[in-house]
Amino acid sequence: EAQVTQNPRYLITVTGKKLTVTCSQNMNHEYMSWYRQDPGLGLRQIYYSMNVEVTDKGDVPEGYKVSRKEKRNFPLILESPSPNQTSLYFCASSFGGGTQIYEQYFGPGTRLTVT
Amino acid sequence: SQQGEEDPQALSIQEGENATMNCSYKTSINNLQWYRQNSGRGLVHLILIRSNEREKHSGRLRVTLDTSKKSSSLLITASRAADTASYFCAMREVNTGFQKLVFGTGTRLLVSP
């Protein structure tokens, strides 16, 4: 089954404790992206990756890191989480290429609470 | 970058009625997509309309795009209780990085049996 998986689905942590949210897709998609969703603000893009070893900042990259060492995986790293990073996080992937943009497939979400 | 604005923020209708939601944006776009999100879950792609298209259909969905007014609308005909969800427009702006999507704030649709 074609899917995007995220782990963990729920996480409660404390300020400053490094964490990683994993994202994996089995559709051989070139493009992957991370979003956060907050009430009243919609989805905002954190980082995206056009392919292996190619990443770029979205609209709200501060406090986050990403890496794309393999095509299928795109982990989101919070080196020192703060309470304002409490949010619902989504990973997404799609085919990519040139100037085209295709439908994105979303993971089920990770609800993160930083106390 | 801009964010799409959706109108209304919330919409409550009866089964069988049509639901129309609108998305407005500020800068030029290459294409615009609509997504559905069931409560707290991942978004599901519904339809994509390119900047050179004016209307597109998919089942009970009809999307229009008016680039002169910088707006798009999503019409769901003969709505069902299962259509209850939040709906988001997402657009790729011209002259931004490839594959950079900007989402609207969403419309919450409630369809009552």
Tens of pLDDT, residues B66-92: 999 999 999 999 999 999 999 999 988
User: B42-57, pLDDT tens digit by residue?
Assistant: 899 999 999 899 999 9
Mean pLDDT, residues B20-43 taken together: 90
Cβ neighbours of A55 in B, within 8 Å: none
**Res B2: pLDDT:** 57
**Contact flag B45-A108 (C-beta cutoff 8 Å):** no
**Res A36: pLDDT:** 96
Q: Quote the CA–CA distance of A94 and A112 in Å, as a whole number.
A: 24
**Contact flag A101-B42 (C-beta cutoff 8 Å):** no
β-strand partners of A63:
none
Q: CA B30, B10, B62, A44: dihedral to nearest 10 degrees?
A: 20
Pair A38, A48: CB distance under 8 Å? no
User: A2-61, pLDDT tens digit by residue?
Assistant: 899 999 999 999 999 999 999 999 999 999 999 999 988 889 999 999 889 989 998 899
Judged by a CB distance cut-off of 8 A, whether residue B86 touches chain A is no
